Structure 1
Amino acid sequence: MTATPDLADRYLAAWNATDPAARRALVEALFTEDVTYTDPLADVAGRDGLDATIAAVQAQFPGFVFRLAGPADAHHGQVRFTWHLGPEGAEPPVTGFDVAVTDGDGRIRTVLGFLDRVP
């Protein structure tokens, strides 16, 4: 299945879900059971590891939200997008981009993250 740009919106919705049960439901719906997530600060496998990573980022940056920094670009089974992390309506202190690779059912199985600007 071909990845589409809306996959980035659903991905960021999971990262922005602060209610643990709601976040877990999004993680289970969007990511494969054996998902891998790698960025300069984390290297985790499985939904439990990803969910814990999201919770840790939320704890480190309380009140911050992820938002797209431009259009997502998708082809075949992958999507790449740039994102900002910061307070709503303010200059974001963190910027990066991710590449997500999907499986045959359109679920994300691999995320490769890069940090462009960090505090």
Structure 2
Amino acid sequence: MTKIEDFVERYVAVWNEADAELRRRGIAEIWAENAVYANQGAEFSGHKEIESAVVEAYEQFVKNGDFVFTVAQVDVNHDAVRFTWDMVPPAGGEAASIGTQFFTLGEDGRIVRDYQFIDKVPA
């Protein structure tokens, strides 16, 4: 596994993390302090706002054991990373949702700008 693939795996793990303290620690390690995460509905600036987006997704999709997020494919171009993810039942099966993340990394290796695109909307 490459360094960037490991980074993407850690990124996705944050969205699946049940422990609030581990989630906050992961956010601080992955996103720069002034990072921006944008999905198609809203934009979140800084760790506290990004944490609220992560918690909302966790509560809606992961908490009750319905789904987990997994990495499908990773592409890198200098300081830009694009990867696809699947939202699948924990035991496996067809993806209920598929998305593409595109982010840029700062000099410290943390995310500066993070954009989410939904390729398959959950039913």
TM-score, length of structure 2 as denominator length? 0.87
Aligned to 2:114: 111
2:93 corresponds, among 90, 93, 103, to: 90
**Which structure 1 segments of 5+ residues have no match?**
none
- Which segment drifts farther, 60-69 or 22-31? 60-69
Partners of 2:80 and 2:5 in 1: CA distance:
9
| Residue identity opposite 2:96 in structure 1 | P
Alignment-derived partner of residue 11 in structure 2: 11
**Corresponding residue for residue 67 of structure 1:** 70
Between 1 and 2, higher relative CO (CA 8 Å, sep ≥ 6) is seen in 1
Aligned residue pair count: 116
| Partner Cα distance (1:4, 1:91) in 2 | 26
Name structure 2 gaps, 5 residues minimum. Answer: none
- Is the CA contact 1:4–1:75 (under 8 Å) kept in the aligned structure 2? no
**1:97 and 1:117 mapped to 2: Cα distance?**
10
1:69-97 superposed Cα distances (whole Å, 9 cap, x missing partner) = 22x11121111000001211121211010
3-state secondary structure, aligned to 1:74: strand
Q: Distance in 2 between matches of 1:16 and 1:101?
A: 22
Q: Which moved more, 1:38-47 or 1:99-108?
A: 38-47
Conserved 8 A contact 1:98-1:114: yes
User: Residues of 2 paired with 1:111 and 1:6: CA distance?
Assistant: 17
CA distance in 1, matches of 2:36, 2:47: 8
TM-score, length basis structure 1: 0.90
Q: Which consecutive segments of 4 or more residues in structure 1 shift more than 2 A?
A: 3-7
